[in-house]
Amino acid sequence: MPGRLDTLLHKLVELDGSDLHVKANNPPIMRVHGDLRRLDEQPWGDAETEEMLFAILNDERRHRLDNFRECDLSYAIPGLARFRVNMFWQRRHVGAVFRLIPYKIRTIDELRLPPSTKRIALMPRGLVLVTGPTGSGKSTSLAALIDHINVNVRKHIMTIEDPIEYVHQDKMSIVNQRELGTDTHSFSDALRHVMRQNPDVILVGEMRDLETIQLAITAAETGHLVFSTLHTVDAAQTIDRIVDVFEPDQQEQIRTQLSVTIQAIVSQTLLPLRNGKGRVAAFEVMTATPAIRTMIREGKTHALYHDIQTGVEHGMQTLDGSLLTLLKEGAIDWEHAVSKCSNVQEFTSRAAHQGIAIPAGVTA
């Protein structure tokens, strides 16, 4: 039965899709360039859906699915791609989502990440966060940053992932990748022991809870370069989300720790290309200047946007600025740009000032 699954996943790659959705009593559904497409196939019954999905589970994963009612794993088709899989029960039926993870790790330049991210990747220590909503390409960007280190400097890189997505081969650096459920029990367990593993760079797949956040900040404080992700849309929300996880009497201390350890926050979102042939990312980049560290320490996150807007010389850029560049290049259309911008009126005014064509009926 995995043969039928492999056929579907080959088709996903062929269509340049990002996700395959498998749901009992429904035909397969694929997300292609951000849109869901239901395949023209007969719906699958419970028995065939379970047989196909259970065939890729080992005993430990099957135990987790049966007892916790969901599990994460990776699945690979040699020569094609890897897939991040979430399997779950819904309304007493099993279902799954397969996220495409290409074997090839795209570079910073290929992803059109801001040039300042090359400098950020090679910082000697501190905390670097890549943020954005689900499906915005955070894992792909993180893989590019880790690969940039791997190609350019001699470091020991430890990753803790759930599951392992992009597989890194040793280049100039040594890369050890640990997967939750297979190599370690949790992010926090792995982080408690990572100091004894002599790392220079630590990647934490996601800062999910208070203990993981605290341990990641501590690792950054002790001289390591730590990368992680959060499901936040910009730098200000990212700082607030981290602080709000802690009890009120701890928040001042966390602000102080963050103000010292944070090096950069890269926030991203994906938009459909105007030609319909894929998607492109727009980015906000905040780097930690003395002024920004002071704002974080004093809890003035609302003022960060102004310094990001005026911090071009420090490698910073706003999401709106990135969207305007993509518009000017003709890569995206107006409607999608406006749907992601922070302030429509200000965005429209800036677009007009830069000579970008504004749709009829829209006033600057």
Q: What is the pLDDT of residues 166-212, one digit of tens each?
A: 999 999 999 999 998 889 989 999 999 998 999 999 999 999 899 99
pLDDT at 1: 45
Q: For 18-47, how does the pLDDT look when each residue is reduced to its tens digit (9 = 90+)?
A: 999 999 999 999 999 888 999 988 888 899
Residue carrying the six token digits 């690979």: 76
Residues near 341 by beta carbon (within 8 Å), at least 6 away in sequence: 319, 320, 323, 347
Does residue 190 contact residue 92 with C-beta atoms inside 8 Å?
no
Question: What pTM did the predictor assign?
Answer: 0.90
- Show the domains of the chain with their CATH numbers: 2-102 (3.30.450.90), 108-317 (3.40.50.300)
Residue carrying the six token digits 């950020």: 120
Amino acid identity, position 260: V
The Cα–Cα gap between 11 and 180 comes to 29
pLDDT at 56: 93
Q: Which of 181, 225, 332 is nearest to 270 (CA)?
A: 332
pLDDT at 364: 64
Residue carrying the six token digits 């570079």: 107
Residues near 112 by beta carbon (within 8 Å), at least 6 away in sequence: 280, 281
Amino acid identity, position 49: T
Does residue 318 contact residue 284 with C-beta atoms inside 8 Å?
yes
Q: Which of 99, 91, 83 is nearest to 49 (CA)?
A: 91
The Cα–Cα gap between 268 and 117 comes to 13
Does residue 129 contact residue 212 with C-beta atoms inside 8 Å?
no
Residue 282 bridge partners (DSSP): 269
The Cα–Cα gap between 246 and 249 comes to 8
Within the chain, which residues score under 70 in pLDDT? 1-2, 364
Q: What is the CA radius of gyration of the chain?
A: 22
Dihedral over alpha carbons 304, 306, 310, 315 (to 10 degrees): 30
Amino acid identity, position 322: S
- Classify burial at 229, counting beta carbons within 10 Å of its beta carbon; exposed 0-12, middle 13-18, buried 19 or more: buried
Taking residue 204's Cβ as centre, other Cβ atoms within 10 Å add up to 27
Amino acid identity, position 141: S
The Cα–Cα gap between 248 and 69 comes to 34
Q: Count of residues for the chain?
A: 364
Q: Which of 330, 325, 310, 359 is nearest to 348 (CA)?
A: 359
The Cα–Cα gap between 270 and 283 comes to 9
* DSSP letter assigned to residue 45: P
* DSSP letter assigned to residue 317: B
* DSSP codes, 170-221: PSSSEEEEEEBTTTBS-HHHHHHHHGGG--SEEEES---SHHHHHHHHHHHH
The Cα–Cα gap between 285 and 307 comes to 11
